[in-house]
Structure 1
Amino acid sequence: MSSVEVSRSLLLKACVAVGLSETGAEPIRIGENALWRLPHGIVARISRPGQSVAAGRELAVARWLRDCGVPAVRPLDHLREPLDVDGSPVTFWHELPPHRPGTAADIAPLLRRLHELPVPALPLGSLDPFVRLAARIDGAVTLEDTQRQWLRDRLADLQAEWLSLPPGLAASVIHGDAWRGNVAVTATTTYLLDFERTSLGPPEWDLTATAVGYGTFGTVSDSEYTAYCEAYGADVMTWAGYAVLRDVRELRVTCFALQHAAADPARHRTEAHYRLACLKGEHGPRPWGWSAVS
């Protein structure tokens, strides 16, 4: 069965279990997580197997943000917990009105509001910026042994540097994956989306996502980055610890590309290995013009 067929089978079981119609269901996105549009303005999200705790946290964070007056995608009120379907957690959400993707300047005010909120009594856990990296390095079958060892050494170096970051902004609730794709802009409201990685940690981690888009990928323009910093009220690239957070994010997105290259070398090997070569200093200074991997 294809990934779409597998996801549709899970969706059908979930809808039957909660009494929702899946007639005419349309896939919005099928990836590590799958999103399906259902009748009556409902969206089903099917998460990866074993992610029930994260899915429950997403629901709790979304309801907390609603209570705090922060515009965010909203789960169905009567389905309080994720539904387990063959090991995959399924959650149900209200579909947003017609919207466009966000920009860097759109996400910045929402991040500032989020970072200023009092820490709630929710089991958020602390940020782990290195989650799954070792496994992705070990599973990257397109690597040579010397390349794999270089990545292992780089990971170890960054783990040590993370422990000695200089003082920065006060720790807060952070989004965890704060790029412009996790914002939706309607005619009247800008909404924050996707709370899978929400946790407690340094606000600079959220800010670094757009800074890396600007300084590493080259996908955020000078004017966009200036507007982003003005909207938030700070430029993370001027912080003494920025280089460490940047390097961690660059390692993360390189390992993400290597994971995709392992599954589909024809599509993703070139980009993944180009990213690795950049990290090793083989393509000069940033920005490196990395392409999106999905």
Structure 2
Amino acid sequence: MAIDETARAARTEWAVAAARAVAEEYGVVADTPVVLHDLFSVVVHLAPAPVVMRIPTVLPPSRQADPTRTLAERRAELAVSFALRELDFPTTGPSPLLPAVPFERDGLVMTAWEYLETVPVVELDDPAGYVADLHTALRAVEVDLPFLVFWDDWMTEMLDLLAAHPELVGPDDLAVARREHARIDAVFGSPERFAAAFPHAALQPVHGDAPTHNVLMTTDGPVVTDLEHACLGPVEWDLALTGLAADYDQATVLRGGRPTDRELLALCESARWLQVVCCLGLADEAPAELVDGILPLVATWRDQVG
């Protein structure tokens, strides 16, 4: 139901070794690496160097077999990071000690980022205002981005993988998930479908992955990070399941943005719930704490879809 701890430790060691090998090619010595996170990606501080390497490790089979899409997403992430920094929006940046490109090593894709010292502050003072500021900055970002990353064919593959785990999501729930996917994909399946359904909701660059939870709190203030899901989408994509819509509407109007469309927000929330459930399709590769964290949410999702 989840990767066993021995195999997980070996995978983490493999990722850290690959990251160190890449860094050492550029003269960066990492004698005392520290793993910061290890869920969907291994995130390792290549101490004593001020470099953090992020290596996606929990991926569907198509991404493991062909890294083309992952490489393109990492290039887009780097480009958005550069653009936000040029706009003076606090953003984690690529490490100046290595080239600002995605690297391939031993079957893994990775990117190198600057290491930032963080402070023990866990919440933003004004999360809705922060997201409104981020969206204002992102509207000025001129980077070629895909439409709704991790909705496209990723969802179809994940639903197929989910079918192999009836112990996690039973046949009845899987049938509901496929119906939900078809309903949502009728709108989110392409920019053209989206525009036909919501002509007033302009697409723009969005963070793509819960921006209020992907913030590093530093002595200089919050710094947005993990832009690996940056894409073109409606602002509602970033606001789904946050409970921030009402406060965001007030904040974004003051900044020249549009208030949220509640019908579109509801559709984005349905899509996000489905993404959460579909992550169980990766159960064979995922750590136990990730699987155990998602499993109770299946019942919540079931209640949401009725």
Under a length normalisation based on structure 1, what TM-score does the superposition of the two structures give?
A: 0.78
- Tell me what 1:287 maps to: none
Query: Higher relative CO (CA 8 A, sep ≥ 6), structure 1 or 2?
Result: 2
Aligned residue type for 2:220: T
TM alignment of 1:221-232, pairs within 5 A: 227-232=247-252
- The 3 A distance-change label for structure 1 pair 70 and 241 is same
Equivalents in 2 of 1:65, 1:11: separation in Å?
A: 28
Out of 245, 249, 252, which is 2:268 matched to? 245
Deviation at 1:276, TM superposition (A): 3.8
Q: Normalized against structure 2, the TM-score is what?
A: 0.75
Name the CA shift for 1:105/1:269 in 2 (closer, same or farther; >3 Å): closer
Kindly indicate whether residue 160 of structure 2 is the aligned counterpart of residue 138 of structure 1: yes
Tell me how large the CA RMSD over aligned residues is: 2.9
- Relative to structure 1, is the Cα distance of residues 236 and 88 closer, same or farther in structure 2, using a 3 angstrom cutoff? farther
1:17 is displaced (CA, Å) by 3.3
Aligned with residue 205 of structure 1, among 237, 254, 257 = 237
Structure 2 distance, partners of 1:129, 1:93, is 23
1:84 alignment partner AA: E
CA offsets 1:232-252 (integer angstroms, 9 cap, x no match): 347855544222222212222
Letter in 1 for 2:303: C
Distance 2:237 2:49 in 1: 37
Correspondence for 1:271 among 278, 288, 296: 296
**% identity of equivalent residues:** 21
Distance in 2, Cα, partners of 1:95 & 1:230: 34
2:104 is aligned with 1:84: yes
Would you say the 8 A contact 1:261–1:267 is kept in 2? no
Q: For residues 76-115 of structure 1, give each alpha carbon's deviation from its aligned partner in whole angstroms, at most 9, with x where no partner exists.
A: 1341212211121121111123233443346324323334
Do structure 1's residue 124 and structure 2's residue 145 form an aligned pair? yes
Taking the TM superposition and a 5 Å limit, the aligned residue runs for 1:25-36 are: 25-36=33-44
Kindly indicate whether the alpha-carbon contact (under 8 Å) linking 1:261 and 1:269 is maintained by their aligned counterparts in 2.
Answer: no
Gaps of 5+ in 1: 215-223, 282-294
Alpha carbons of structure 1 residues 138 and 275: separation in structure 2 relative to 1, 3 Å? farther
3-state SS of the aligned residue for 1:134? Answer: helix
Q: Which runs of 5+ in 2 are unaligned?
A: 1-5, 58-63
Q: Distance in 2 between matches of 1:76 and 1:152?
A: 42
Choose 231-240 or 251-260, whichever is displaced more.
Answer: 231-240
In the alignment, residue 88 of structure 1 is paired with which amino acid? L
